[in-house]
Amino acid sequence: GETVALSEKSPSEIDAFLQTQRTAYDRLVTQGLKLDLTRGKPSAAQLDLSNELLRLPQGFTAADGTDVRNYGGLKGLPELREIFAELLWVDPEQLVAGGNSSLTMMKDCLVDLLLHGGVDSERPWSQEEKVTFVCPVPGYDRHFTLLESLGIEMVTVPMYDDGPDADAVAALVKDDPSIKGMWIVPTYANPAGSVCSQDVAARLASMPTAAPDFKIFWDNAYAFHHLTEDEAKSADIVKLASAAGHPHRPLEFASTSKITFAGAGVAFLAASPENIAWYVKHLGTGSIGPDKVNHLRHVQLFKTADGVREHMRRHRDIIAPKFAEVQRVLTERLGTQEVATWNDPAGGYFVNLDVVEGTASRVVELAKAAGVALTPAGASYPYGKDPKDTNIRLAPTMPPVEEVTAAMEAVATCVLLAAAEKYATV
Ligand code: PMP
């Protein structure tokens, strides 16, 4: 096997290595694979864990006697809010249970901030000359496309193992009043896998901002999505910000999309009582109430917060072997080559693979030609532009484990060939 790192090989060794990788790749192409590691979707086996929902609810009466079939109750069913308030450490009064998508709630908040301004705004954001968001990278592609579609500019900061670079964020927001907010996926980030530490969260909650109405979009999509028994605790941003004198700064989002049904779950918003009243007021101009039948179904499925925790362990049992397989193949095939680094996330839905600079798009192109669909290179950066062309997001939850193995073997072959091509030309 190869034991000398590519950077230490002589030109003739690199030529020989390139030939070996070309042969391996040609063999791969003849296999005619058809595999997909692109999106973080739950597998059918994971969706099956919640099939009881298809037979629920039993009855249609909520704890307080409300007929869930009828209109009303904009904040969502109280007993469902109680369960998720416990999980997110907020008061149930500070939690809205809504429709099936937290991303839609994020969009609603942004649109309301643009059209109406927030509870602490001097004017609607759309009346500002410019609105900018701080975006930790790599990050979630849909956050970036949403901002782009609304004309909100983006400035990036690095994502570290303990969350966004808090010094960089603090320096940006201190003097520039056009910077109105930031994204963060605090727990098992998409795609970096990192967990925002208590310390970083406290700094984000308390840092001085030139904009009086600065908002942290705290997208806790993977709050309960542990892959190991060492279950990370998200920082409690709502309390931290309140204690720091900025109670209206955070808007925390979560959903059951990766807990029950990705397309038919329940989304949540947690924030200060004033922010919740603001959100519900604007929501009420376009809705007479959420799908409380779905809320009641979810209450009857989980029963308690512990019911949710137990349910997440069943997810873990299904997907942890797939993540282990990604690690095994990457380590065996690339471990000694110095052509890639990657993380071994303790939760969430993604593995973040960094390949030789300037080769990520080539790897994705090679994989595509070999029948393996990968997320487009650069997707985890605003405007789809990874300045170093190094980052690839791998999503192993959806395919069966044998397909994860085959796809990762193919990815490794493509990473090696792209690296060999690059070294051979320098
Ligand atoms: N936020 C993040 C970080 C995500 O990864 C996803 C799903 N891939 C979402 C939000 C979407 O959540 P929902 O289904 O609740 O709209």
The per-residue pLDDT for range 130-179, each reduced to its tens digit, is: 999 999 999 999 999 999 999 999 999 999 999 999 999 999 999 999 99
Q: Are residues 14 and 155 in the same domain?
A: no
253 SS3 class: strand
pLDDT tens per residue, range 322-353: 999 999 999 999 998 889 999 999 999 999 99
CA 89 to chain centroid, in Å, comes to: 20
pLDDT of residue 1 exceeding 60, the answer is: no
Centre of ligand 1 to C-alpha 190, Å, is 9
**Does residue 363 sit within a domain?**
yes
pLDDT at residue 336, as a whole number: 86
Mutation pick for ligand 1 pocket among 100, 101, 104, 142 (CB with most ligand atoms within 8 Å): 142
Identify whether residues 255 and 352 lie together within a single domain. Answer: no
What is the Å distance from ligand 1's center to 42 Cα? 12
- Helix/strand/coil for 421: helix
Q: Which atom of ligand 1 is nearest to the CA of 254?
A: 15
Distance CA 98, CA 295 (A): 9
Mean pLDDT of 109-116: 98
CATH number at residue 184: 3.40.640.10
Nearest residue (CA) to ligand 1, atom 11: 103
Per the domain annotation, does 406 fall within a domain? Answer: yes
Is residue 207 included in any domain, yes or no? Answer: yes
Could you give the CA distance from residue 409 to residue 33 in angstroms, rounded to a whole number? 11
DSSP state of 53: G
Residue 199 half-sphere exposure, CB side, CA atoms within 13 Å? 6
Q: Which atom of ligand 1 is nearest to the CA of 262?
A: 14
Is the pLDDT reported for residue 59 higher than 90?
A: yes
Give the residue numbers spanning the domain of 83.
Answer: 62-303
Q: Which atom of ligand 1 is nearest to the CA of 39?
A: 8
Q: Which of 303, 333, 349 is the last residue of a domain?
A: 303
Q: Which of 220, 232, 404 is nearest to 319 (CA)?
A: 404
For residue 317, which of 87, 41, 46 has the smallest C-alpha distance? 46
Q: Which of 269, 303, 337 is the last residue of a domain?
A: 303
| pLDDT tens sequence across 295-318 | 999 999 999 999 999 999 999 999
Mean pLDDT value across the chain: 96
Number of structural domains, the chain?
2
Q: Are residues 139 and 279 in the same domain?
A: yes
256 in the same domain as 177 = yes
Ligand 1: which of 102, 147, 266 to mutate, judged by most atoms within 8 Å of the beta carbon?
102
Q: For residue 386, what are its two tokens?
A: 């990874």
Do 17 and 9 contact (CB within 8 A), yes or no?
yes
By CB atoms closer than 10 A (0-12, 13-18, 19+), residue 249 is buried
Q: Which CATH number do you get for residue 369?
A: 3.90.1150.10
Centre of ligand 1 from the C-alpha of residue 269, in Å: 13
Per-residue buried b or exposed e for 90-126, using 16+ beta carbons within 10 Å of the residue's own CB = bebebbbbbbbbbbebbebbbebbbebbbbbbeeebe
Query: Domain for residue 57, yes or no?
Result: no
CA 269 vs CA 73, 118, 378: distances in Å: 15, 15, 29
Task: Give residue 409's pLDDT.
Answer: 98
- 191: tokens are 């795609």
Instruction: Choose one of 101, 257, 269, 350 to mutate for the ligand 1 pocket test, by most ligand atoms within 8 angstroms of C-beta.
Output: 257
260-299 pLDDT, tens digit per residue, is 999 999 999 999 999 999 999 999 999 999 999 999 999 9
pLDDT score, position 2? 45
In a domain, 55, yes or no: no
Q: How far is residue 364 CA from its own chain's centroid?
A: 21
List, as one string, the DSSP characters of 195-213. Answer: ---HHHHHHHHH---SSTT
Q: Are residues 328 and 383 located together in one domain of the fold?
A: yes
Q: How far is the CA of 302 from the centre of ligand 1 (A)?
A: 21
pLDDT at 79 over 50: yes
Asked if residue 335 and residue 264 are part of one domain, the reply reads no
- Residue 200 Cα distances to 85, 166, 234, 425, angstroms: 23, 6, 11, 42
Query: Does one domain contain both 263 and 376?
Result: no
User: Residue 297, Cα to own-chain centre: how many angstroms?
Assistant: 26
Whether residues 208 and 336 fall in one domain: no
Q: How far is the CA of 25 from the centre of ligand 1 (A)?
A: 34
103 Cα to the center of ligand 1, angstroms:
6
Q: Please, what's the largest Cα pairwise distance for the chain?
A: 79
- Ligand 1 center–CA 183 separation, angstroms: 13
Residue located nearest, by CA, to atom 2 of ligand 1? 221
CB 123 within 8 A of CB 134: no
Instruction: Evaluate whether 187 touches 223 at the Cβ level (below 8 Å).
Output: yes
Give the nearest ligand 1 atom to 102 CA: 15
DSSP helix, strand, coil percent of the chain (3-state; round to 5)? 45, 15, 40
Whether the complex's predicted ipTM is more than 0.95 is answered with yes
Percent of the chain surpassing pLDDT 70: 99
Q: Characterize the bridge pairing of strands 95-97 and 351-355.
A: unpaired
Ligand 1 geometric centre to CA of 194 (Å)? 16
Question: How confident is the model at residue 230, as a pLDDT?
Answer: 92
Separation of 178 CA from ligand 1 center, angstroms? 26
Same domain membership, residue 96 and residue 31? no
pLDDT-based confidence at residue 426 (cuts at 50, 70, 90) = low
Domain annotation covers residue 153: yes
Distance CA 161, CA 406 (A): 29
Of the candidates 137, 139, 179, the one whose C-alpha atom is nearest the C-alpha of residue 158 is: 137
221 Cα: distance to centroid of ligand 1 (angstroms):
6
What pLDDT is stored for residue 363 in this prediction?
98
The residue-averaged pLDDT of 186-195 equals 95
**How far apart are the CA of 343 and the centre of ligand 1, in A?**
20
Atom of ligand 1 nearest to the CA of 258: 14
The whole-number pLDDT of residue 5 equals 82
C-alpha of residue 164 to centroid of ligand 1, in Å: 19
pLDDT at 425 over 80: no
Last residue of a domain, one of 259, 277, 303: 303
Identify whether the C-beta of residue 117 lies closer than 8 Å to the C-beta of residue 123.
yes
Report yes or no on 56 lying in a domain: no
- Ligand 1 pocket (Cβ < 6 Å) reads 40, 101-103, 140, 185, 190, 219, 221, 255, 257, 267
State whether 354 and 369 are in the same domain. Answer: yes
* Mean of pLDDT values over 219-243: 96
How far, in Å, CA of 407 to CA of 396, rounded? 9
The pairs formed by 359-365 with CB atoms below 8 angstroms and a separation of 24 or more are: 359/389, 359/390, 359/415, 359/418, 359/419, 359/421, 359/422, 360/386, 360/389, 360/390, 360/391, 360/392, 361/389, 362/418, 362/421, 362/422, 363/392, 363/411, 363/414, 363/415, 363/418, 364/392
Residue 52 in any domain: the answer is no
Q: How many CA atoms lie within 13 A of 279 on its CB side?
A: 30
**pLDDT score recorded for residue 8:** 86
What was the pLDDT predicted at 3?
62
Q: Is there a single domain that holds both residue 216 and residue 354?
A: no
Residue nearest to atom 6 of ligand 1 (CA): 221
Q: What is the C-alpha separation between 316 and 309, in angstroms, rounded?
A: 11
CA dist 267 and 287 (Å) reads 15
Among 255, 394, 398, the mutation site with the greatest number of ligand 1 atoms within 8 A of its Cβ is 255
Same domain as 31, residue 84: no
Q: Which atom of ligand 1 is nearest to the CA of 257?
A: 14
Mutate which of 103, 188, 253 for ligand 1 pocket (most atoms within 8 A of beta carbon): 103
